[in-house]
Amino acid sequence: MSTYKHNVVYFGIWSVLLSTLFINEVMAQQRCGKFEWDCNDGQCVSEDARCDGVVDCQDGSDETAENCIQGYATCHTFAFKCSYGACITGGYRCNGRKDCADNSDELICDSQKFDKLQGSCSSDNDFQCSKSKECISKYSICDGAKDCKDGSDETLQLCVGFDCPEIAFHCGYGACINGNAKCNGVKDCADGSDEAWELCGFPRPTNRITPSQPPDSQNENKCQLPENGLYLVARLHPQNHTIRLGSWVNNYETIHLECSNGYRIPTGASLNCQDGKWKGSFPTCAQYCEGQALLGLSTFYVCFNNNIPARQCQRVQPNAQVYIGCNAGYDGLGNNLPPLRCTSDGKFTAKRPTCGVECGVLRLGTALARKGLPVEKSEVPWQVAIYQKPSDNVNYKFICGGSIISPSVIVTAQFVQKIYRVFKTFTEAAHCFWDVAIEQKMNAEFFQIAAGKYYRDYGVTKDPTAQIADVAEIVISSSFRYDKDHFREDIAVVKLKNPFIFNENISAVCLTIKSSADRYVPNNWDGSVVGYGDTDDKVLQQVPMKTLSYHSCQLKDKLAFLANDKFCVQNEGEATVCRGDSGGGYVIHSAITKRHELWGIISYTPFRNAECARDGFVTVTNVNYMSDEVILKMEQFKQEDKTLF
The highest-level CATH class for domain 223-286 is mainly beta
Domain spans of the chain? 30-109, 123-201, 223-286, 288-357, 383-636
Choice among 25-29, 164-168, 442-446 with the minimum mean pLDDT: 25-29
Single out the residue of 554, 563, 565 nearest to residue 617, CA to CA.
Answer: 554
The model's pTM is: 0.62
Calculate mean pLDDT across residues 545-558: 82
pLDDT tens, residue by residue, 174-197: 999 998 899 888 899 999 999 998
pLDDT at 583: 81
pLDDT tens, residue by residue, 244-257: 888 888 888 888 88
pLDDT at 537: 64
Count Cα atoms within 13 angstroms, Cβ side, for 239.
7
Cβ contact 395:536 at 8 Å: no
Report whether pLDDT(610) > 50: no
Between the ranges 252-261, 301-310, 369-378, 391-400, where is the mean pLDDT highest?
A: 252-261
Q: For the chain, what is the mean pLDDT?
A: 78
pLDDT tens, residue by residue, 80-119: 889 999 988 888 888 888 999 999 999 988 877 777 888 8
Does the domain at 383-636 match CATH 3.40.50.720? Answer given as no
Cβ contact 442:435 at 8 Å: yes
Choice among 138-147, 283-292, 491-500, 594-603 with the minimum mean pLDDT: 283-292
DSSP 174-234: S-EE-GGGTTSSS--STT-GGG-HHHHTPPPPSSS--------GGGTT-EE--S--TTEEE
Report whether pLDDT(552) > 70: yes
d(CA 157, CA 194): 19
pLDDT tens, residue by residue, 302-348: 888 777 776 667 778 788 889 898 998 999 887 788 999 988 778 89
Calculate mean pLDDT across residues 539-546: 82
Write the CATH number of the domain with boundaries 288-357.
2.10.70.10
Rg of the chain in Å (alpha carbons)? 29
Dihedral sign for Cα atoms in the order 199, 203, 209, 210: positive
pLDDT at 507: 93
- Could you tell me which residues come within 8 angstroms of residue 348 by beta carbon, excluding any fewer than 6 positions away? 289, 293, 316, 322, 340, 341, 342
pLDDT at 435: 65
Domains 223-286 and 383-636 in one fold:
no
Q: How much helix, strand and coil, in percent to the nearest 5, is found in the chain? A: 15, 30, 55
Dihedral sign for Cα atoms in the order 632, 635, 637, 640: negative
Single out the residue of 478, 393, 482, 403 nearest to residue 436, CA to CA.
Answer: 482
pLDDT at 40: 81
Choice among 74-78, 157-161, 346-350, 398-402 with the minimum mean pLDDT: 74-78
Calculate mean pLDDT across residues 122-144: 91
pLDDT tens, residue by residue, 195-216: 998 888 888 876 554 443 444 4
pLDDT tens, residue by residue, 409-429: 999 887 544 433 333 333 333
pLDDT at 482: 60
d(CA 558, CA 553): 9
- The helix/strand/coil state of 39 is coil
- In eight-state DSSP terms, residue 337 is P
pLDDT tens, residue by residue, 217-233: 556 788 988 877 667 78
